[in-house]
Amino acid sequence: MKPYAIEFKNVWFSYERTEVLRDISFSLSQGEFLGIIGPNGGGKTTLLKLMLGLLKPEKGEIRILGQEPNDASHRVGYVPQNTDFSQAFPISVMEVALMGRLSRARIGKRYSQEDREKVRNVLEKVGMWEYRLRPIGKLSGGQRQRVFIARALATDPEILFLDEPAASVDPEFQTDLYDFLKELNKTVTIVVITHDIGVVSSHMKSIGCVNKHFIFHEGGQITQEMIDMAYQCPVDLIAHGLPHRVLALHEEE
Amino acid sequence: MWEALQFEFMRNALMAGVLVSIVCGVLGTLVVVNRIVFISGGIAHAAYGGIGIALYTGLPPVIGAASFSLAVSMVMGAASLKSKQRADTIIGVMWALGMALGIILIERTPGYNVDVMSYLFGSILSVPRLDIWYMASLDLVVLLVIVLFYKEFIAMSYDEEFSFVVGMPVRLLYFILLAMISLSIVIIIRVVGLILVIALLTIPPYIAEKYTTSLGRMMVLSCILSIIFTLTGLWVSYRFDLTSGATIIMVAGLAFFVSMGIDSIFSAKKRV
């Protein structure tokens, strides 16, 4: 059997003394398309950083494709939430996308022709090839987002993580983006953090809701109940801070 | 001007100026884009402690300053990674402690007759041959490291988090960068003194950043600007009998404000 794409076993995490994630356990199969929703400060980005190995759990165990997160680093792609850092940095679209071809095994070597071909391919996919020589700081938020998606794809990931990919994107590209991800999902496991519950219900195969606890729905198709949950979950959490209500609903089914 | 070249000290000064400008352009670019100006200032000032130790114990000052600032840079680097919130305070404390140590040790050195001012403000006109060799080998090492790990340094500087996620040894690269900076600071002190090091590390890259679209070009333009500032400053100081280190910085500072002025004129025009 294929190892799980993501596996959490009783994972806890705190910043200083503030508990952020409490006793999280779940496993996500390969080929899934997981949407993670939840209120601001609920721990969505922390959860993602744990999966990427950027943070270490306080307690518990995390496996990515059956490996330690840091060992699986060359098998995952990552699109950060903020893409507007270092606007003045002198770097072209091409160079940013090429970063996706970095690997530990080839430190100290130049990018190969194959790397450049691959990057051309992904930049064309996101429609940014003709901008390849532009400085990244001169692009619009949406264009920059596309470049960062291309960079993540250039790593040839088995799992693609995206943190709020639609945050700085024009509405038109947002629709394109999810159609694009859906297509990509035929070969790649995708994990998306998002605020957009509508998108979750229409595009994603499974839904996780995080607010210190993690409630997870895995399943083939989206049921009415899941849509209800997707809509209710963050609303309830923000309004009453009662994540257990959702859990209760889930257990009743 | 040309008759000055008959003197060996003038030829040494020119060579020192060019060699130092090359490390300043290359490493200064990384200092500016990685926003480690403060830590570089800390290393430069703490290096005075190393000079004090060297004079007190009779070691060559270059060796003393180099090893001490190397050690200091590693501690500062570790502090900046460990407690991001208070890193600036820790660096500030070490900055002052290093200088204090240097002042006390130099004062206690029996019968010292070194011109202490030359460490504070530089003395490009009295660079010995030996230091030229040290500068040349350091230039070579720095250029080699940067050429070899160019794409890794770009990645680390632009997006540290992503670089870490794809398995780059970002911490190691960061410490290598700090080590190169601390060793270079020792030779930059020769030219402009430890108080003025920061100006030569940051002004050329700051100007260059605005006119370049890649880190490599920014480095090259910074080197060229740095050479222009150093040699112009040297000439002005020779012609008008001014302190060389301070004159070099005045030239660089003037260029800094001219470039800012040009920018504001251009951006005002754009808005209209």
- Which site among A51, A75, A89, A153 would you substitute to test the B interface, given the most B Cβ atoms closer than 10 Å to its Cβ? A89
CA angle B47, B52, B53 (to 5 degrees): 95
Domain parsing of chain A, residue ranges: 72-187, 224-253
| Segment A172-203, tens digit of pLDDT | 777 778 888 888 899 999 999 987 766 666 67
Is some CB atom of chain A closer than 8 A to the CB atom of B67? no
Rounded distance, CA B162 to CA B170, Å?
10
Is some CB atom of chain A closer than 8 A to the CB atom of B19? no
| Segment A53-75, tens digit of pLDDT | 989 998 899 999 999 888 888 88
Q: Is pLDDT at A208 greater than 70 in this prediction?
A: yes
Rounded distance, CA A44 to CA A34, Å?
13
Is some CB atom of chain A closer than 8 A to the CB atom of B166? yes
Residues from chain B that touch A85, judged by Cβ atoms under 8 A, are: 159
Nearest-CA residue of chain A relative to B217? A90
Q: What distance in Å separates residue B148's CA from the closest CA in chain A?
A: 5
Of the candidates A51, A50, A47, A67, the one whose C-alpha atom is nearest the C-alpha of residue A2 is A67
**Percentage above 90 pLDDT, chain A:** 29
Q: Are A129 and A43 in contact (CB under 8 A)?
A: no
Q: Are A52 and A78 in contact (CB under 8 A)?
A: yes
**What average pLDDT values come out for chain B (272 residues) when binned by 10 residues?**
76 92 96 94 93 89 89 93 84 93 88 72 85 92 96 94 89 96 90 88 94 94 96 92 91 94 82 58
Question: Per the domain annotation, does B269 fall within a domain?
Answer: no
pTM reported for the whole predicted model:
0.86
Q: Which CATH superfamily is domain A72-187 in?
A: P-loop containing nucleotide triphosphate hydrolases (3.40.50.300)
Question: Per the domain annotation, does B257 fall within a domain?
Answer: yes
* Reported confidence tier of residue A142, pLDDT bands at 50, 70, 90: confident
The range of the structural domain enclosing residue B158 comes to 2-110+117-261
Rounded distance, CA A100 to CA A125, Å?
15
Q: What distance in Å separates residue B178's CA from the closest CA in chain A?
A: 19
Question: Per the domain annotation, does B196 fall within a domain?
Answer: yes
Q: Which two tokens stand for residue B178?
A: 């700090």
Rounded distance, CA A74 to CA A157, Å?
8
The backbone torsions φ and ψ at residue A237, rounded to the nearest 5 degrees and listed phi first, read -65, -40
Q: Are A68 and A53 in contact (CB under 8 A)?
A: yes
Rounded distance, CA B76 to CA B94, Å?
8
Question: Per the domain annotation, does B268 fall within a domain?
Answer: no
pLDDT of residue B263: 86
Subunit contact A86:B33, Cβ cutoff 8 A: yes
Subunit contact A99:B166, Cβ cutoff 8 A: yes
Subunit contact B161:A53, Cβ cutoff 8 A: no
For chain B, give the longest Cα–Cα distance. Answer: 67
E strand spans, A29-146: 33-37, 59-64, 76-79
Subunit contact A107:B152, Cβ cutoff 8 A: yes
CATH number of domain containing B156: 1.10.3470.10
The backbone torsions φ and ψ at residue A181, rounded to the nearest 5 degrees and listed phi first, read -65, -35
Residues 195-214 of B with CB under 8 A from A: 209-210, 212-214
How much is the average pLDDT of A130-134?
A: 94
Rounded distance, CA B215 to CA B158, Å?
10
Is some CB atom of chain B closer than 8 A to the CB atom of A86? yes
Number of domains in chain B: 1
Neighbouring CB atoms inside 10 A of A118's CB total 20
Residues from chain A that touch B158, judged by Cβ atoms under 8 A, are: 86, 89, 91, 96, 99
Taking phi first (over 0 means left), then psi (-120 to 50 degrees means alpha), and beta for anything else, what does residue A204 get? beta
